[in-house]
Amino acid sequence: MDSLVEKIEALQKISQELEPSFKERESLNEQIREFANHFLDNLEAYPAYVEKDAVVEKLTFNSGKKTLKELLTNFNSEVVLKGIKPASGKHLGYVPGGGIYTAALGDFLASVTNEYAGMYYASPGAVTMENELLNWMKKIFNFPKEAVGNLTSGGSIANLIALTAARDKYQIKNDKIQKSVIYLSPQAHHCIHKALRIIGLEDVKVRLLELDEFSKINTEKLAEIIQEDLKNGLNPFMVIASAGTTDTGAIDPLSAIGEIAKNFNLWYHIDAAYGGFFILTESKKKLFKGIEFADSLVIDPHKGLFLPYGIGAVLIKDKKAVFHSHHYTADYMQDANTVAAQINPADVSPELTKHYRGLRMWLPLQIHGLEPFIASLNEKLLLTIYFRNKLKIAGFELGPKPDLTISYFWYPSKKIDENIFNEKLVEFIHANGDVFLSSTKIGGKFVIRMAILSVRTKKETIDTAIEMILKCLMQTKEYF
């Protein structure tokens, strides 16, 4: 017995290391705080993109102890100073967000308290907070109170949960799979195709719909194709619209598609991961008319609310359809099986134990109030116009007037094939890296894409971007 106690005590001495004292915590906090402050205060000076590989040796885990100082040095040189800087306002590629500081503080508290946000029983407060955020989103998008929702890790998992509910509601399985049809835009996000494979619907028929000149779904054709499919004995079951495509930020005609979905009894899914929160702006609100017809909806707070990566959201009207795959009971969960006053996040998601994501959204919204978030969205809309005006003056061709803050442009080179010219231009832009822009293909044409959604993108950032683009344009002209 004594030797057992001795052994425990010996181990305790070692494991105690994992529980820093007040003084040690203060010292660690101070170093992290200093690092974070230095990062934020110098962020503007960092290039938005550094094309460099990470040195593996500096990041390899080995089992000995290291000082935080030493670790932060490697973190800085290998992680912070390489690749794309998503926190930078000069990140104008893909879909940025920025990552506001108060959300990081929410994450800190979520980790320290380590609340169990999967079950109401375990943390009624954490689950209520998350459900209140979902209720707020239901209100914004005119969803009924009875709808269920989940704060996911991002838009991909949110889409996965929504499509799973659609599959289960329409019982798309066995022989039905190959006869079933889904309708969507060729510009729908690729995570939808991934989700279909994951949930066993790889073999459904996917009809890529025709788009108009603004890259929006042509709804007249849609009804025709559905009728044709019905005539041929197929099983149309879902139509997917985007409220802000990734390529061009286009918002599909949501009302008209909703009408068609209703007429043909289809599940109506809308992916508003990028565009959703623009519904909060007076000038764009009307473009979202009809979003309330959706059976399921995806919105990404780590895009439109500028939160750090790691938070998406899904809303679904049919609770039963969601519960079919996600609600499960097990003997070891019997204590949790009391009738909960709130929906358990674990019943709306593949996750059981989950990060307590609500706090990183709730805290910033409550500390700052909603107004600066809306002002920031409006600011991004105007900066998009500002950027396009400047590009036009500089001799660039512009894609059509965007619905939101994603747009594209290219240089109309006369001397050399436009695609080849603009590809080279993007190479120079990436090699420069001060401001980061990505590229895409629109109807086979190589174009440069700008996505203005970082909370830190300001008028001065756009001026810097123009300066850099003109410099790279000169280099490209010299090259050819």
Ligand X SMILES: *Cc1c(COP(=O)(O)O)cnc(C)c1O
Q: Which residues bind ligand X (CB under 6 A)?
A: 95, 154-156, 189, 191, 242, 246, 271, 273-274, 300, 312
Alpha-carbon span 406 to 185, nearest angstrom = 17
Q: How far is the CB of 189 from ligand X (least distance, A)?
A: 3
Judge contact between 118 and 344, C-beta under 8 A: yes
**Looking at beta carbons only, is 99 or 154 nearer to ligand X?**
154
Q: Is the dihedral of CA 199, 202, 203, 207 positive or negative?
A: positive
Alpha-carbon span 424 to 428, nearest angstrom = 6
**Looking at beta carbons only, is 439 or 476 nearer to ligand X?**
439
Q: How far is the CB of 312 from ligand X (least distance, A)?
A: 5
Strands 438-442 and 445-451, sheet pairing: antiparallel
Alpha-carbon span 367 to 98, nearest angstrom = 18
Alpha-carbon span 115 to 406, nearest angstrom = 37
**Looking at beta carbons only, is 119 or 184 nearer to ligand X?**
184
Judge contact between 305 and 455, C-beta under 8 A: no
Separation of first and last alpha carbons in the chain: 83
Three-class DSSP category at 150? strand
Alpha-carbon span 303 to 37, nearest angstrom = 23
Alpha-carbon span 307 to 50, nearest angstrom = 23
Give percent helix, percent strand, percent coil of the chain, each to the nearest 5.
Answer: 50, 15, 35
Alpha-carbon span 141 to 292, nearest angstrom = 6
Alpha-carbon span 160 to 168, nearest angstrom = 12
Alpha-carbon span 411 to 476, nearest angstrom = 10
Judge contact between 267 and 295, C-beta under 8 A: yes
**Looking at beta carbons only, is 270 or 322 nearer to ligand X?**
270
**Looking at beta carbons only, is 316 or 469 nearer to ligand X?**
316
**Looking at beta carbons only, is 219 or 245 nearer to ligand X?**
245
Q: How far is the CB of 140 from ligand X (least distance, A)?
A: 17
Instruction: Please give the residue whose beta carbon sits closest to ligand X in the complex.
Output: 155
Q: How far is the CB of 480 from ligand X (least distance, A)?
A: 34
**Looking at beta carbons only, is 48 or 299 nearer to ligand X?**
299
Q: How far is the CB of 451 from ligand X (least distance, A)?
A: 9
Q: Using alpha carbons only, what angle is made at residue 219 by residues 292 and 406, rounded to the nearest 5 degrees?
A: 70
Q: How far is the CB of 300 from ligand X (least distance, A)?
A: 5
Give me the residue label for tokens 């990041």.
Answer: 59
**Looking at beta carbons only, is 78 or 312 nearer to ligand X?**
312
Q: How far is the CB of 228 from ligand X (least distance, A)?
A: 28
Q: How far is the CB of 222 from ligand X (least distance, A)?
A: 19
- Residues contacting 146, CB < 8 A, separation 6+: 317, 319
Q: How far is the CB of 404 from ligand X (least distance, A)?
A: 11
Q: How far is the CB of 271 from ligand X (least distance, A)?
A: 5
Alpha-carbon span 374 to 372, nearest angstrom = 5
Burial of 397 (0-12, 13-18, 19+ CB in 10 A): middle
